[in-house]
Amino acid sequence: MTPITRTPELEAVVARARQAAREAGELDLPTGPFDSPWVPELQAAVVALLEDGTYDEVVRLIAASDPDLA
Amino acid sequence: MLVVDDALLLRVLGGVAVSSVMAELERGELYTTGVWYHRLSRAAHDDRSVGTLSRELATFDQDVQHYILESLDQLPDRIGLIGWRRLVPVMSVLNVGRNLNLLAAEALAVGLVVGADIGVTTDAPLVREGAATLDLGYRVIRV
């Protein structure tokens, strides 16, 4: 395949998809402050598994068996 | 507008993402993709990987562990998720000069439809190269 960027065909398809998403309410998200319901201990555990490589290792295992998730 | 990967999504759900990402959420401009959401859910539920995660979560009692999984199963409507009825036509005509897997095709399609940058925690070469070809913003967000 020859690399291309924004062809008129692609722009038209994107415009139709954007309009359909707008009509479906998918582009009108709630706004305002977000307070996670997770307790501080859980937040700390999540940060730990993200920063110590645990999550990356889990993703590596998943991606190894399913290239569409890599 | 920002489309985030699964690791950033997990940080957002936990309220521990960097302020620039949380600001996108508060402006109603934060999206993820179905595949990234699926990968996060797989990471939490998959038999082959749940042992790794459960070691980290073992310090919590069963109720809290159940709560964690349940909270991942109910993606807040604050986080945008574009339906495949809209995305498949876009994914089908993407041509970035190489084959795209589902993860990359959906991420690029969402970026185009929403008009958003794509934010990842770990460099994703297929997404990066596709974003460059399509003139989409691409950021590796170090947290």
Write down the ipTM of this complex. Answer: 0.91
Distance from CA of B95 to the nearest CA of A (A): 6
Please tell me the pTM assigned to this model. Answer: 0.91
Chain A interface test: which of B22, B42, B48, B68 (most A C-beta within 10 Å)? B42
Task: Note whether B31 and B3 are within 8 A (CB).
Answer: yes
CA dist list (Å): A9 to A13, A14, B16, B42, B97 = 6, 9, 40, 35, 16
Q: Note whether B23 contacts A: Cβ–Cβ < 8 A.
A: no
Decide which of B122 and A41 is more confident. B122
pLDDT in tens, B74-130: 899 999 999 999 999 999 999 888 899 999 999 999 999 999 999 999 999 999 999
> Measuring CA to CA, which residue among B143, B136, B130, B98 is closest to residue B115?
B136
Q: Note whether B86 contacts A: Cβ–Cβ < 8 A.
A: yes
